[in-house]
Amino acid sequence: MEKDSNKAVEESLIQEVAAILSRDVGAIDPEIPLHEMGIDSLGFVELLVIMEKKYNIKLMESGLTKNDFKTIRSLSVKIKDLI
Amino acid sequence: MLSLPFSKTKRYLTGIDWIIHVLNYMTKKETGADFMSQIVIEVSGAVNVGELFNRLNAFIKNYPVLCGYASRDINLAPYWKIPPANKIDVLLDSSNVENDTSFETIIKHLEKKINTAFKNKRYHLAFHLINAGDKSFIAMRFDHLIFDAANAEAFLDLFQKQWKEETPFDYKFAPEPAHLSLWMEKFMAGQRVNRAFLKIADNVAPRVLPLPAVKNGFRFKILSFDKKDADTIFENAFNEAGYLMLMPYALAASVYCLHKMFTDRLISSGDYVIPVSINMKKQEKENKQFFNNVSFFIFKIEADIAGNFSAIINSIKKQMYDQVKADFPGDLCKASMLMRIAPLSVLGRLMKIYLKGQVASFSFSYLGEAVYTSYDFMGNNILNLFHMPRVPVPPGIGIFFQRSNERMNVILSYLDGMLKNEEAEEILSLLKFRLGVK
């Protein structure tokens, strides 16, 4: 169940990153760092705002560490913890 | 709803395009030349001017849009009138300088070009080649009516790809509707934008430098960082501003350095207001090669915190988050559609109302990853690629960050006479220090 929830958040993140970058969902690898995919500061803040609205959480104020942000996978684990 | 069919000779202007037309009008009125920029590609070796002319001339003939001009439709929406064919030969001139000519002297040559007005409303693009012995500089001057900075780089990149691969021309012009529908949505967006501007506005005008009485064009100072220095800046941005927060970090450094100069000059009235252009063009799927696919954030930095680097970073990050959350850039795109009804001169005056006769303290942009992705230009290895943007007047001064492959360039652009040479040098020196580059 836990694994399924993590997967759902990760898939949601993949969809949003794909939308921000205008790429196909299949082209988004959850293990690749966001900056290597071409996400910039604007895209990153957009992503956080979308996830905050979607899951009703406060990502910006949750004391996230650098490692939490690095990849879609690490970010999805953190978001799952906050839900 | 009044809807007209798409036409190859007509491209409707968006609200943001119209704002750029207003900035162009204001800048031309103040300085005699358009709101232009120049991309300079520095390459190793000599470039043959004849071959460059032939290739560029053949390339631009594919784009009649390049010699279009603004007009107003029967439905009152402004549009870009596109002739059936581009019959204007490419504007290219060249000069030769000694092999050991200093970079400062090259910049002076390039300043003359970027400060030269286009002949008439049909001209929006010109090239200049400087052969300097073992290296060359190819400059493309363009006005922002036809390209934003990213699109201009993409245009050169397309030229290079066609030169290299000899690919056939297959560009399809992306149509733009007149946007004469969804009025309530636009009015609601206008209301939110109005509120946001009222929040930024104060009882006093923002902190600005006085414009020189005689405007002799723009001057440029350029800091160019190699890969090692650029990596240091990324690392510092990561540590001090957070993951992917390079734009807020670069803007904070710019505010910090200009604040020092304002303070030294004993200019102490008002806070800093900085519009920051952002790229609204989604990657890969969109075929929007021309015009302006941008919107803006508007940042206000209180003068009281402008000497505290960490406080500036935090303020910018918070404002960026709030503006993304409220979709301010999207609202601005929608609301600006309503402004297209106003003539340029009227809109120019209206834009100054909120900030008590001013538009901004300075201009800033951070052009992220390089859009020109090739490592060569017509077979010559690229050493650097940088922009020389003329800033809207007012404010007449701006700082720009831009990437070129693994390099990073910082460009200070200002009206001649606005800063003393020593002041400009000091700003760049402090900026280098603030970015953590030794």
User: What pLDDT digit, counting tens, does each position of B254-306 carry?
Assistant: 999 999 999 999 999 999 999 999 988 765 455 678 999 999 999 999 999 99
Nearest residue to B363 via CA among B302, B411, B309:
B411
Chain A residues inside the 8 Å CB shell of B248: 41
Taking 80 as the threshold, does the pLDDT of residue A18 lie above it? yes
Q: What gap in Å lies between CA B184 and CA B371, rounded to an integer? A: 36
User: What kind of fold does domain B10-165 have according to CATH?
Assistant: Chloramphenicol Acetyltransferase (3.30.559)
Interface test with B, best of A42, A47, A49 (most B CBs within 10 A): A42
Structural domains in chain A, sorted by start: 2-82 (1.10.1200.10)
Q: What gap in Å lies between CA A30 and CA B273, rounded to an integer? A: 38
Q: What is the pLDDT of residue B428?
A: 97
With H, G, I as helix, E, B as strand and everything else as coil, classify residue A1. coil
Mean pLDDT to the nearest integer, A4-30: 90
Taking 60 as the threshold, does the pLDDT of residue A4 lie above it? no
Burial of B105 (0-12, 13-18, 19+ CB in 10 A): middle
Contacts 24+ apart (CB under 8 A), B56-64: B56/B90, B56/B92, B56/B127, B56/B159, B57/B89, B57/B90, B57/B92, B59/B159, B59/B162, B59/B163, B60/B86, B60/B90, B60/B125, B61/B85, B61/B86, B62/B86, B62/B169, B62/B171, B63/B171, B63/B290
What is the pLDDT of chain B when averaged over all its residues?
A: 93
How is chain B split into domains, by residue range?
10-165, 183-369+388-434
Strand partners, B402: B367, B409
The string of pLDDT tens digits covering residues B301-342 is 999 999 999 999 999 999 999 999 999 999 999 999 999 999
The string of pLDDT tens digits covering residues B95-153 is 999 988 999 999 999 999 999 999 999 999 999 999 999 999 999 999 999 999 999 99
Q: What is the pLDDT of residue B422?
A: 96
Asked if B244 lies within 8 A of A23 by C-beta distance, the reply is no
Sequence-separated (6 or more) residues with CB below 8 Å from residue B233:
B225, B246, B408, B435, B436, B437
Asked if B321 lies within 8 A of A48 by C-beta distance, the reply is yes
With H, G, I as helix, E, B as strand and everything else as coil, classify residue A47. helix
DSSP result, B213-250: SS---EEEEEEEE-HHHHHHHHHHHHHHT-TT-HHHHH
Residue of B nearest to A39 (CA): B244
> Looking at the complex, does the CB of residue B248 fall below 8 Å from at least one CB of chain A?
yes
Residue of A nearest to B237 (CA): A41
> How close A39 gets to chain B, by Cα (Å)?
8
User: Of chain A residues 17-46, which have a CB less than 8 A from chain B?
Assistant: 21-23, 34-35, 38-46
Q: What gap in Å lies between CA B41 and CA B157, rounded to an integer? A: 11
Determine the straight-line distance between the first and last CA of chain B, rounded to whole angstroms: 60
CB contact at 8 A, B299 and B276: yes
> Looking at the complex, does the CB of residue B324 fall below 8 Å from at least one CB of chain A?
yes
Omega before residue B394 within 30° of 0, cis? yes
DSSP character at residue B118: P
Residue of B nearest to A67 (CA): B243
Mean pLDDT to the nearest integer, B168-172: 65
Q: What is the pLDDT of residue B391?
A: 95
Sheet containing B69-72, strands listed edge to edge, beginning at the edge strand earlier in sequence: B10-12, B78-81, B69-72
Q: What is the pLDDT of residue B9?
A: 86
Chain B residues inside the 8 Å CB shell of A35: 243-244
Sheet containing B218-225, strands listed edge to edge, beginning at the edge strand earlier in sequence: B218-225, B407-415, B397-404, B363-367, B272-279, B294-301
Q: Quote ipTM for the complex.
A: 0.90
CA distances from B138 to B142, B300, B311, B360 (A): 13, 37, 41, 32
Taking 60 as the threshold, does the pLDDT of residue B4 lie above it? no
Chain A residues inside the 8 Å CB shell of B235: none
* CATH topology identical between B10-165 and B183-369+388-434: yes
Of A22, A23, A45, which has the smallest distance from its Cβ to B324's Cβ? A45
**Can you tell me which residue has the tokens 């684990």?**
A77
With H, G, I as helix, E, B as strand and everything else as coil, classify residue B199. helix
Residue of B nearest to A53 (CA): B325
The top-level CATH class assigned to B183-369+388-434 is alpha beta
Res. B436 pLDDT band, cuts 50 70 90: very high
CA B142 to chain centre: 11
Identity of the residue numbered B284: E
Chain B residues inside the 8 Å CB shell of A50: none
